[in-house]
A and B are shown apart, each in its own frame.
Chain A
Amino acid sequence: MGKKADLLQGTLHLLILKALSVQPLHGLGVSNRIGQITDGTFEVKPGSLFPALHRMEEAGWLKAYWGESENNRRAKYYMLTKAGRRQLETETKDWQRISLGIATALRAT
């Protein structure tokens, strides 16, 4: 299965929010999209994907609805809510601050 990075605690939420920022997706769609936008660095397993999706739905960041997939199958779709978009913004800022901090720290001699 190749060498995949383990997901950092908390980054999964950010990735899911990001994956859903363009359009609503079903579970497999979210997982594929994350693989795509991270150039295959991250692979999200159903065992962590679905609990995260449900948790985020309960937090009010996502809204779920049943729809038709591209090949006419019934699938449960997730879309960002307003709160979800706000969350994406704050988490993005937080992440940028953290990664900048860590990068600076690693550059230090």
Chain B
Amino acid sequence: MRRLFHRAASLWRNVSRKSAVERDLSDELNSHLELLVAAKMKNGLSERDARRAALLDLEGAEQVKERVRESRSGYRFELFLQDVRFAFRTLRKAPAFSLTVTLVLALGIGSTALMFAIVDSVLLEGPRFPEAERLYTLWQRIPEEPRVSFSPKEFTAWQKQTQVFESLSFATGTGFTISGRGDPELVIGRMVPANVFQVLRTVPQLGRAFASSDANQHVVVLSHALWRKKFTAGPDVVGKSITLNGEPYTIVGVLPENFEFEGPDAALFVPVDLTNQMFAQAADAHFLRVIGRVKAGVTRQQLDAEVSLLGTRVDDPDDRTNRRYFALSLKELTTGELRTPLYVLLCAVTFLLMIACANVANLSLARGSARQSEMGIRAALGASRGRLVTQLLTESILLALIGGVAGIGLAVWGLDLLRGFATQNVPELLRAHISAPSVAFAFAVSGLAAVLFGLGPAFAASRASFESVLKGTTRTTTSSERTRQALVFGEIGIAAVLLTCCALMIRSFAALTHADPGFRPAHVIIADLALGKDRYPDAPQMVQFYRKALDAIRNLAGADAIGMVTHLPFGGNSWGNGFDVEGYTPPPNTSYSAQIRPVSPGYFAALGIPLKQGRDFSEQDRENTPGVAIVNELLAKRFWPNESPIGKRIRYSSEWLSVIGVCGNIKHARLDAEPDMEIYASYPQVPAPIMKFVGRDLNFVVRSSNGGSISAELRNTIRALDPNAVVKINTMDARIRESTAQPRFRTWLIAIFSAFALTLACLGIYGVIAYLVTQRYKEIGIRIALGATRANILQLILGRTFRLAALGIAAGLLAAFFLSRFLASMLFGITVHDPLTFVAVPLGLVAVALLAGYFPARRATRVDPVTSLRYE
């Protein structure tokens, strides 16, 4: 303890009063010398001889001083400071080198840190609920749909019988029109049992969670975002009233800011229970997304066992279904779709970082060979090899640190940019933030990069020997040249892999945007509206409104075709329902479901869906006329492969409908999905209890060649009929574009990374070829003197470039050929070994590589033989 104190005190003295300590040492050695001289003179030597002998005995005052210094506390620290100071000086003296390296590193580290931050907050962090690992969602799988929700009947049964779940809850989405606070606005709300916040273990920021007595009462809990927007974050909001669908609701609570359940767009939560009329009427409809908290200590195996057991037990024996039940943890649910793209992007940035490191190593090597004489001289003056390596490593660590800090700045900026660019369509990005782990990751990466690119060149440079420097021949040249070429080979190889993946994604994206949705989206305007419960309590009022609106819209100038639909493709909601075909008994354990779309006459023409057989609905297909339906080709071919479907009967509710027409298949919500079976119904014929539930959100579809003016007129027409209606006008093209936002986003990201990679690889090629030209300056001069033409020289240098590039590209393509299958799930319309990609990428790369080599090659052709022979 005391010793430690002494050491600390000495360290402080050595550092803070360095000159005094040095003077003291010098005085001590002088006095030692004088004492020695005096002693020798006492033994009879003359003063001159005594002094000479004394100096010999001392064996060099400076050397003794140096050894004392080395033994002092803080010697290593001082050495380190010296190295850092020296490194700063050297780096300042080579600004082009330092700046390039910092930039390249910042780019590599920055993009890696950014990607890691996204992966960290989206994939690794998961949902932010206490003990979120105990939260599971329940699903069913049928052949046509991989993820089906629960019906109220099933939910009730499961709730009674479950052994592993502590509590079960659910959510079902519905639109709410908020009026009385500014313009009426349609928001997405969730109907939930009163226990949902207990299941999630969320405590509202203001007010309270639901009590069980709240079920089916007019109370509401607001999201943080809605509270800010509609109540400007006023603290006195609890107890106030808000008008939803024309009815007053009392606000009982506001959720915390980071609360995210059922998607970021859930603006409010309303408590219900299954006695609610809505659930009672649709006891077999699958629209409850079930979530539950398993008891502590329940394993995944126990959970899965119960889920499959309950699945068989609860199944209605009459309903011979082939449903499979399964549980997904909340984390799996929220990150499932993003997992592959994010990991692919993380791989891409890691590749980018590798190229950046290779590039920096390359630059350092080039600089190392330029500094060989300096190293040689320092070695000759007594610097040990360890000392030189430490010095060079300090330089690279310093550069890496600066690059790391700049990289984090770049990542913060990049994330902001991405957020602004993509939050709407990639809501998960909202959660992303540059967290402590990602900063730590960036520094770990930069540290590793420093050692990686610092160590090799450091050893190469420190190997420089005094003689070789003096002789002017450096024996490390060939080996370092070989290392540099290997590095460039690696860079080009990795760039080729990245570019191949990028090209595949771009090709796939192009295929996606050119995919045929099955209808003609151009020139189609959509009016999206929601009807409030106050003015339209039941189906008759709703149907009446549709009629009036359709008549008014039909008369708009410029409307070539118009129609109405409750579930628009790419509109965000869907209505999947089971159905029966008359005279057809499905095999045991099979059930079918189709997309049901109540539409008006003219819908097919307005959206541009081809009618293949039969006729469209007409105004005569009304409430009191025989029920009719139009089915799509997929359904028709499946059930009536060899006969005309016209006149056959089908039902999705209790009433049979005659098929009057067959239309083309369309894509429902994604361009890259297969079409579903579809049943179109004439809207007045939809049974009233169902219409009341499905008909509140609807779309008018207008085909018109003058889009601009008709949008405004469309809005005014609807507003004139119902001033409280929430109307959103959009084009069908925009709707489809939104559906491709995620692939577009990731294609952009990977394209940016690939562009960086290509630039860096080109820099590498340029560096190596430029160095080659400088080295062979004399040789080129001789060749020119002997009559080589400029074309010969160009050919010589470009030949070298080509060989260097071709090897790397070949290796890269080979790797890409095997790696591209990891992209398979993200590709659409092309194979993972898309021939065009695998031909175009190498050709393009060779061209770019030759361009990078061309600049130094052109310089070589301008070599003046006379100067070149005098060169060196």
A-side residues, CB < 8 A to B, are: 26-28, 45-48, 50-52, 54-55, 57-60, 69, 71, 73-76, 83
B-side residues, CB < 8 A to A, are: 2-3, 5-7, 10, 24-25, 27-29, 31-32, 34-36, 38-39, 57-59, 63-64, 67-68, 70-73
Contact of A59 with B6 in the complex, beta carbons under 8 Å: yes
Chain B: minimal CB distance from A103 (Å): 31
Contact of B68 with A54 in the complex, beta carbons under 8 Å: yes
Count of A-B contacts judged by CB separation below 8 Å: 73
Contact of A76 with B27 in the complex, beta carbons under 8 Å: yes
Contact of A69 with B67 in the complex, beta carbons under 8 Å: no
Q: Which residues of A contact B31 (CB under 8 A)?
A: 26, 69, 73-76
Closest 8 CB pairs of A and B: A60-B6, A51-B71, A58-B10, A76-B28, A28-B35, A55-B71, A51-B67, A75-B31
How many angstroms from the CA of A47 to the CA of B58 in the assembled complex?
Answer: 7
How many angstroms from the CA of A24 to the CA of B28 in the assembled complex?
Answer: 15
Q: Which residues of A contact B28 (CB under 8 A)?
A: 27, 50, 76
Contact of B63 with A47 in the complex, beta carbons under 8 Å: yes
Q: Which residues of A contact B72 (CB under 8 A)?
A: 54-55, 58
Contact of B35 with A73 in the complex, beta carbons under 8 Å: yes
Contact of A69 with B35 in the complex, beta carbons under 8 Å: yes
Contact of A46 with B32 in the complex, beta carbons under 8 Å: yes
Q: List 10 A-B contacts (CB under 8 A).
A: A27-B32, A28-B32, A50-B68, A54-B25, A58-B72, A59-B3, A59-B7, A73-B38, A75-B35, A76-B27
Look across to chain B and name the residue whose beta carbon is closest to the beta carbon of A27: B32
| Cβ-defined partner of A50 (8 Å) among B34, B35, B36, B67 | B67
Look across to chain B and name the residue whose beta carbon is closest to the beta carbon of A75: B31
Look across to chain B and name the residue whose beta carbon is closest to the beta carbon of A71: B38
Contact of B35 with A26 in the complex, beta carbons under 8 Å: yes
How many angstroms from the CA of A52 to the CA of B24 in the assembled complex?
Answer: 16
Chain B: minimal CB distance from A30 (Å): 10
Q: Which residues of B contact A58 (CB under 8 A)?
A: 6-7, 10, 72-73
How many angstroms from the CA of A73 to the CA of B59 in the assembled complex?
Answer: 22
Q: Which residues of A contact B32 (CB under 8 A)?
A: 26-28, 46, 50, 75
How many angstroms from the CA of A58 to the CA of B68 in the assembled complex?
Answer: 12
Contact of B29 with A50 in the complex, beta carbons under 8 Å: yes
Contact of B68 with A60 in the complex, beta carbons under 8 Å: no
Chain A: minimal CB distance from B153 (Å): 83
Contact of A51 with B35 in the complex, beta carbons under 8 Å: no
19 extra A-B contacts, CB within 8 A, seeds A51-B64, A74-B31: A26-B32, A26-B35, A28-B32, A45-B57, A46-B32, A47-B63, A50-B28, A50-B64, A51-B67, A51-B68, A51-B70, A52-B71, A55-B71, A58-B6, A59-B7, A60-B3, A60-B5, A71-B38, A73-B35
Chain A: minimal CB distance from B254 (Å): 64
Query: Which of A26, A57, A76, A83 has the most CB atoms of chain B within a 10 A radius of its CB?
Result: A76
Look across to chain A and name the residue whose beta carbon is closest to the beta carbon of B73: A58
Q: Which residues of B contact A54 (CB under 8 A)?
A: 25, 68, 71-72
Q: Which residues of B contact A47 (CB under 8 A)?
A: 59, 63-64, 67
